[in-house]
């Protein structure tokens, strides 16, 4: 495959740091991009994804689906030498979110008034 057929992509994390840029084939799946992000994730970050399902890739305002390729994701027309920037969002684990919800609900129920108006 000619190098001009490759798509140059960098991944922007929520704190503004980047992973990449690297060149990918248009037939590369979004899941394979996420695997690459996981392998290159900075170790000093507070939030660290564990699986590709913890990551969302956003390009041009659209969340990219794992089973699609770069070509199917309809990336904007690129200019020669241009780098496509995709934003990376880490989803918090659902179990932690549910635990926080239970903790947040408990104090509210304890602060309720039990007065009765006659």
Please state whether the predicted TM-score (pTM) of the whole model is above 0.85.
no
For every one of its 118 residues, what pLDDT tens digit does the chain have, with 9 covering 90 and above? Answer: 455 588 889 999 988 899 988 999 889 999 999 999 999 998 888 888 888 899 999 988 899 999 999 888 766 666 667 788 899 999 876 655 455 554 555 455 455 656 666 6
Q: Domain containing 22 — which CATH number?
A: 3.10.20.90
* pLDDT value for 114: 61
Q: DSSP string spanning 18-51? A: EEEEEEE-TT-BHHHHHHHHHHH--TT-SS---S
Whether 14 is in a domain gets the answer yes
Question: Cα(98)–Cα(74) distance, rounded to whole angstroms?
Answer: 35
Domain with 51, as residue range(s), is 3-92
Whether 102 is in a domain gets the answer no
Sign of CA dihedral 93, 36, 75, 77: positive
Whether 7 is in a domain gets the answer yes
Number of domains comprising the chain: 1
* pLDDT value for 71: 84
* pLDDT value for 11: 93
Rg (CA), the chain: 21
* pLDDT value for 46: 83
* pLDDT value for 3: 54
**Contact by Cβ (8 Å): 86, 58:** yes
Whether 71 is in a domain gets the answer yes
Whether 104 is in a domain gets the answer no
Whether 107 is in a domain gets the answer no
């Amino acid at each position: 495959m000619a190098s001009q057929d490759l798509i140059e992509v960098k991944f922007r994390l929520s704190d503004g740091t980047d992973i990449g840029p690297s060149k990918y084939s248009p037939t590369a799946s979004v899941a394979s991009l996420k695997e690459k992000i996981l392998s290159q994730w900075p170790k000093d970050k507070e939030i660290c994804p564990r699986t590709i399902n913890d990551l969302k890739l956003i390009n041009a305002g659209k969340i990219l689906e794992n089973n699609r390729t770069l070509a199917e994701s309809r990336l904007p027309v690129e200019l020669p030498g241009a780098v496509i920037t995709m934003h990376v969002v880490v989803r918090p684990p659902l179990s932690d979110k549910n635990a926080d919800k239970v903790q947040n609900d408990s104090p509210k129920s304890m602060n309720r008034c039990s007065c009765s108006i006659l």
